[in-house]
Structure 1
Amino acid sequence: MTVYQGFLSELKHRPETTVQYFLSVGDESVGLNELIGTTLRLSFLEEKACCACGRKVKGKLYGGGYCYPCVTTLAECDLCIMKPHECHFDKGTCRDEEFAKSHCMIPHYVYLALSSNVKVGLTRKNRELTRWVDQGAVRAIPIAELPTRKLAGELEMAIAEHIADKTDWRKMLKGVYEEVDLFEVREQIKAIVPEEFQQYLFDVDQLFEFTYPILENLEKIKSMSFDKEPVIEGKLIGIKGQYLIFDCGVLNIKKHTGYKIEVTTQAPVEQTA
């Protein structure tokens, strides 16, 4: 038996032949793939802390682990992060110009990904593999490179009039998706992309594919939360996106960033730096 305590961070992963997952509990990084098929017990210790400033929080955390003061002041929590096309950097009202220069005023990809369905999305260049795995994509290709996040957001919105920009997380976790040729979809998109964005489109020959460590798929998806179930215990049967998949339900780790938990495993675990 192994026991760890600490505040949760989002799942880390490496996109190898099968995606390798790691659970961050405080300063510990716990290898999860070798624990699939074993029983895990995750106990909420009734403490929460902001992932940015470390402030202890008695009530709600926002936006994936932020306290209220941080979510209302930090640039990474501004509404334009979720709606890049509404970037207001050029209006002089950005919360943090240095953050914008390093995160927003840099090249971004617009991509097609297949998870529950074909969806369009955007991500910073060189962060695409992380983004695709976080969304539980089984296949993906970039289709355009734009110089700023705002331009990428505008192109995404134009394409989203014809293709979904959301993932059905329940179907994604069940492994339910329609077989679609992303290269064919890319060709169809070229015909509907507004003229001002045509210069940013490009063709790639490589199809990125991802295999997730899953023993079996659940027929019914039950979402679990430490706010309703302070102790979650079950057989770990898979990991996909930011979800731990148990035989009794699924737990979104990213949504519980900042929760202090105790993890008890029934088997030795691999620790990573």
Structure 2
Amino acid sequence: MIYQGVLTKMQTEFLEPIQYYLVFENDFIHMNQLLNKPIEMKLVGHQCLSCGLDRPIYRQGFCKTCFFDKPVAGDWIMRPELSTAHLGKEDRDLEYEKKVQLQPHIVYLANSSNVKVGVTRKSQVPTRWIDQGAHEAIEIVEVPNRYLAGITEVALKDYVADKTNWRNMLKNDVTDENLLEWRQNLKQHIPEEAKDYFIENNSETHLHFPVVQYPLKPKSLNLEKQISYAGNLVGIKGQYLIFEDQTVFNVRANEGLVIELNV
């Protein structure tokens, strides 16, 4: 069967194991059902996730114009400490920024390739951890806005990583850690403004991914250069599709590409 649509990050369900869905405008594909089956992908065009035009994708699924103009791509998205809606200061669109920034946010620890600190809206737990391919995670603080989460993350980055090694994550080259101990050790480094929001009593969340075979030497598929690819799907972790020949495809990193999917 052939499907065609614009790539956006796979939707997920927090079940045992994680369930993945590729959502096109007119189709809803349960990716777990395609494990151990051949699939073919072909690049047929581009569609900016903001303006909808067929333009080259610059970053995060947006064309260059939208990336630099639209509030959904403001610098505070990637750098929460730059948030200013709590001060009533506009970056690109204050109404949008208030809607997103002035809601509960979580600073967390996640273990995917290593223990890292991160920020997400409370409504995105555990989706954010799934998207990062974390096999365990725990909340550190819950704050009322994005700015407080951002400055907390910045403070903790001096003592714990803030990046995931995607190759190690996909190889499942990971070690279980005691995140409760990590959280307790980091408590003293939380900024004064966020100390009252420290979460004293909670437990680790454990996540299990639908992977039949992990790659020993993952090689990333670039559809912009290769145009088409066919392979046997053997796993899904984070936002990556894992194939039997050790090719991996980051769906989220390719948002905005229009593909033809043959399954």
What TM bracket, shorter-length normalisation?
A: over 0.9
SS in structure 1 at match of 2:57:
coil
Distance 2:84 2:190 in 1: 24
Corresponding position of 2:252: 254
SS in structure 2 at match of 1:228:
helix
Distance 1:81 1:61 in 2: 18
Distance 1:220 1:148 in 2: 40
- Counterpart of 1:262, as a letter, is E
SS in structure 2 at match of 1:171:
helix
Offset of residue 63 of structure 1: 2.5
The answer to whether the 8 A contact 2:112-2:164 is kept is yes
Offset of residue 93 of structure 1: 3.4
Which of 180, 189, 199 lines up with 1:192 in the alignment? 189
Corresponding position of 2:17: 18
* Structure 1 gap segments, 5+ residues each: 266-273
CA change 1:204–1:40 in 2 (3 A) is: farther
Which of 161, 179, 183 lines up with 1:182 in the alignment? 179
- Runs of 4+ more than 4 Å apart: none
What percent of counterpart residues are identical? 36
Corresponding position of 1:68: 64
- Counterpart of 1:65, as a letter, is G
After superposition, the CA RMSD in angstroms is 1.3
Corresponding position of 1:263: 261
Corresponding position of 1:149: 146
Between Structure 1 and Structure 2, the one with more helix by share is 2
- Counterpart of 1:104, as a letter, is Q
Distance 1:73 1:24 in 2: 26
The answer to whether the 8 A contact 1:122-1:156 is kept is yes
The answer to whether the 8 A contact 1:142-1:204 is kept is no
Distance 1:214 1:178 in 2: 17
- Counterpart of 1:193, as a letter, is I
SS in structure 2 at match of 1:120:
strand
Structure possessing the higher relative contact order (Cα contacts under 8 Å, 6 or more residues apart): 1
- Counterpart of 2:200, as a letter, is D
The alignment's TM-score, normalised by the length of structure 2, stands at: 0.95
Q: Equivalences for 1:113-124 in 2 at 5 Å? A: 113-124=110-121
Corresponding position of 1:33: 32
- How many aligned residue pairs are there? 261
Corresponding position of 1:269: none
Distance 2:258 2:77 in 1: 26
The alignment's TM-score, normalised by the length of structure 1, stands at: 0.92
SS in structure 1 at match of 2:209:
coil
SS in structure 2 at match of 1:219:
coil
Distance 2:88 2:167 in 1: 39
Which of 198, 201, 204 lines up with 1:204 in the alignment? 201
Q: Which moved more, 1:4-13 or 1:106-115?
A: 4-13
Instruction: List per-residue Cα deviations over 1:197-243 (Å, max 9, x = no partner).
Output: 21110123332111000001110010011112111110101001111
Which of 236, 239, 243 lines up with 1:239 in the alignment? 236
